[in-house]
Amino acid sequence: MNCESARELISPFIDSELDAAQAAEVERHIQTCIACAERQFEYLQLRTRVRADAPYYSASEELRARIEHALHRKAAAHERWRAPWGWIGSAGAAGFAAALLLVFVLAPNTFYSGKAGQDVIAQEVVSSHVRSLMAGHLIDVRSSDQHTVKPWFAGKLDFSPKVKDLAPQGYVLTGGRLDYLDGRAVAGLVFGRRQHVINLFVWPSSKQSGSRLSTFAITGFNIVQWPEAGLTYWAVSDLNAAELREFARLYSE
Amino acid sequence: MPHLNAAYNLARWLMRNDHDAEDAVQDAYLRAFRFFDSFDGEDARAWLLAIVRNRCRSALAQTPRRAATAEFDEGKHALDTGAPDPESVALRKSEIHSLRACIDGLPNEYREVIVLRELEQMSYKEVATAVAVPVGTVMSRLSRGRIRLQECIASRLKREVRQ
């Protein structure tokens, strides 16, 4: 390797971005070339200076609150749109966002059924999961006590979801909230597993029988669905598929 | 709110002032919320930073003069060096000031890759996603950006010595 070509590679070399063969060549060259060794030293020094002295600007609490507020408003408008009774009233106010959501979320639902229907619902489940995290609207009732969470749903839904705390097994109930999926109000139960959040959505569905677990993976999220006692359960998380299945199995026992 | 500090840090370095950076970040999050259907699930931070960068780029394109003339605010970034010796404090202060001024003086395409690589410590692949260029371009921009930064610091040092 000559000096000319080595010089170009010193920067990726210190970033550990060269493959093993190239890195070995650059390293060999640097041992015999003073100019390139100096350059490597300068780059390393520069890196140290930049990391130590260039400020990392953190967002202010005020900005965080401002964005959360704006996202809440958006999320609320979005939910009004998706709720079947609200769309006429908010049609004027709902803009481009709602139009897009209509195309992506609602329209496919009306054209497909069966297996495709499940896929569309799985996509909706992921959407709700991500929105709940982004808008910071994860929990309406915060409690790790299943006997607090279950009654909370009583006046709000026309069905009663099974609420089960799996803290001993490492899936900690943190609360619940109302959400909208598949064109209706559903129960949203929130669990924590290490740093991961699991949303478990529950609503009545007569489409399925048996107790088989179905798994889906959409845009990096894992989803496990199972039917139980006339209700359909959808668990979604960025947790790995094996653990999410374990969660589903424990929950459905 | 995921990756808000990363988003703000990038926006602040690109816009060079708090107010424009905050507007760009808020705008980017609303866009991300609206368009996350286009998110491929690979790398949320890089995807989000790509949106932040686009917002900053178009804001800068609309007000090029204002952004380019934004000056480093000494008072606002007052330094606590903790060193008692006034001479070494002054030296350290001018070192830090030089570095910031030199990064701020880099053209956008070099500044953004250096910020993402050194402050956000992203891999070339992640930087490539955020900046929407091939990995090879990230590599050459970082290389050139580092040379420019090095030269800028060296020439400022020379000037100071002469004074």
Q: In chain B, what are the domains?
A: 1-70 (1.10.1740), 73-163 (1.10.10.10)
Q: What is the pLDDT of residue A107?
A: 34
Is the pLDDT at A186 greater than 70? The verdict is yes
CB count in 10 Å sphere of residue B2: 13
The reply to whether residue B25 touches residue A59, judged by beta carbons under 8 angstroms, is: yes
Strands (DSSP E) found in B25-95: none
- Give this prediction's pTM: 0.57
> Nearest C-alpha of chain A: how many angstroms from B163?
24
**What residues have CB less than 8 Å from A236, skipping those under 6 apart?**
A125, A126, A128, A129, A198, A199, A200, A201, A221, A222, A223
d(CA A114, CA A188): 24
What pLDDT band is residue B75 in, cutting at 50, 70 and 90? very low
Q: Is A230 helix (H, G, I), strand (E, B) or coil?
A: coil
Q: Is the pLDDT of residue A181 over 60?
A: yes
Question: B55 to each of B14, B24, B61, how far by Cα in Å?
Answer: 10, 6, 10
Local confidence band at A97 (pLDDT 50, 70, 90 cut-offs):
very low
Q: Average pLDDT, stretch A188-193?
A: 92
Q: Which has the minimum average pLDDT: A128-132, A198-202, A225-229?
A: A128-132
The tokens of B118 are what? 């050194």
Number of H helices, E strands in chain A: 10, 7
- Helix B124-131 to helix B44-62 angle (10° resolution) is 40
**With the C-alpha atoms ordered B8, B9, B14, B19, is the resulting torsion angle positive or negative?**
positive
Least confident of A113-127, A147-161, A212-226: A113-127
Mutate to test the interface with A, among B15, B37, B100, B114 (most CBs of A within 10 A): B37
A60, B139: Cβ pair inside 8 Å?
no
- A147-151, A154-158, A205-209, B27-31: range with lowest mean pLDDT: A205-209
> Which chain A residues are within 8 Å of B41, Cβ to Cβ?
218-221
- Scan for tokens 């580092």, then name that residue: B146
Mean pLDDT across chain B, nearest whole number?
A: 83
What's the average model confidence in pLDDT over A8-37? 92
Task: Tell me which of A41-45, A90-94, B42-46 is least confident.
Answer: A90-94
B150 touching A (Cβ < 8 Å): yes
Q: Which residue has the higher pLDDT, B69 or A185?
A: A185
CA distance B152 to chain A (A): 12
Task: Round the average pLDDT of chain A to a whole number and report it.
Answer: 79
Average pLDDT score over residue span A136-161: 84
Cα A216 to Cα B110: distance, rounded to the nearest angstrom: 41
Asked if the Cβ–Cβ distance from B41 to A97 is below 8 Å, we say: no
Q: Is the dihedral of CA B106, A56, B48, B64 positive or negative?
A: negative
| Residue A31 neighbours by CB under 8 Å, 6+ apart | A37
Helix (H) or strand (E) segment spanning residue A194: none
Q: Which residue has the higher pLDDT, B67 or A165?
A: A165
Looking at the domain that runs over A112-252, which CATH code has it been given? 3.40.1000
| Whole-angstrom distance, CA of residue A49 vs CA of residue A46 | 5
Of the partner residues A10, A49, A104, the one whose CB lies closest to the CB of residue B99: A49
Q: Is A38 on the interface with B (CB under 8 A)?
A: no
Neighbours of A215 (CB within 10 A): 15
Residue window 101-130, chain B: list those with CB within 8 Å of chain A: 103, 114-115, 117-119, 123-124
pLDDT digits (tens, 9 = 90+) for A66-76: 998 888 887 77
pLDDT at residue B37, as a whole number: 63
Verify whether the Cβ–Cβ distance B139 to A12 is below 8 Å: yes
pLDDT of residue B158: 83
State whether B146 and A43 contact (CB < 8 Å): yes
Cα gap B51→B82, rounded to integer Å: 38
Distance from C-alpha of A23 to C-alpha of A19, rounded to nearest angstrom: 6
Burial class (CB in 10 A: 0-12, 13-18, 19+), B121: exposed
Cα separation, A43 vs A17, whole angstroms: 15
pLDDT of res. A29:
93
Q: Give CA separation, A214 vs A165, A224, A225, B80, in Å.
A: 22, 6, 5, 58
18-47 in B: which are within 8 Å (CB) of A?
21-22, 25-26, 29-30, 32-37, 39-42, 44
b/e code A76-91 from CB counts within 10 Å (16+ = b): ebbbbbbeeeeeeebe
How close A144 gets to chain B, by Cα (Å)?
23
**Angle at which helices A20-32 and A3-14 cross, to 10°:** 120
Q: What is the DSSP letter of A184?
A: E
B33 with A134: CB under 8 angstroms?
Answer: yes
| pLDDT classification of A101: cutoffs 50, 70, 90 | very low
